[in-house]
């Protein structure tokens, strides 16, 4: 019984950092903000978010699997325009924020 226990403990020790890192990567972020810029070539958007007058810029990439919605149906990234208010459900990856879903909540002026 001692050998399997040691193996399990060793496996746990080895897997723990990887599991922790994966958990960290999987942390979900939801941002609702005003679109500052849309880059269709890199499939990304910059969102203005913030609290009060302390405003921040968030860079979010859209993956091929990112669900895009707005105007009562599906939309393309190119349909998103600066000034639109969008909600982006994202997760942090090694290369930054990637959106699982982007929804246009309000069209800009």
Binding residues for another protein, per CB under 8 A? 32-34, 36, 48-57, 82-83, 85, 105-106, 108-109
Cβ atoms 57, 46 nearer than 8 A: yes
CB of 28 or CB of 54, closer to another protein? 54
Count, residues in the chain: 109
Tell me how far, at minimum, the Cβ of 104 lies from another protein, in Å.
10
The closest alpha carbon to 104, from 61, 74, 62, 64, belongs to: 74
Q: Which is nearer to another protein, 41 or 109 (CB)?
A: 109
**Cα separation, 82 vs 108, whole angstroms:** 7
Token pair 């997760």 in the structure block, residue: 91
Tokens of 58: 């968030």
**Cβ 21 to another protein, closest distance in Å?**
22
Q: In this structure, are residues 62 and 51 in contact, taking their beta carbons and an 8 Å threshold?
A: no
In whole angstroms, how close is the CB of 74 to another protein at the nearest point?
Answer: 21
**Shortest distance, CB of residue 44 to another protein, whole angstroms?**
15
**Closest to another protein by CB, 16 or 50:** 50
> Which is closer to another protein, CB of 48 or CB of 75?
48
């Amino acid at each position: 019984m001692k050998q399997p226990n040691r193996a399990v403990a060793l496996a746990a020790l080895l897997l723990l950092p990887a599991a922790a890192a994966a958990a960290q990567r999987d942390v979900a972020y939801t941002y609702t903000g005003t679109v500052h810029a849309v880059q269709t070539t890199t499939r990304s958007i910059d969102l203005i978010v913030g609290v009060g007058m302390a405003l921040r810029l968030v860079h979010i990439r859209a993956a091929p699997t990112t669900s895009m919605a707005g105007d009562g149906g599906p939309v393309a990234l190119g349909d998103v325009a600066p000034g639109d208010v969008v909600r982006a459900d994202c997760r942090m990856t090694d290369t930054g924020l990637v959106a699982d879903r982007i929804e246009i909540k309000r069209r800009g002026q």
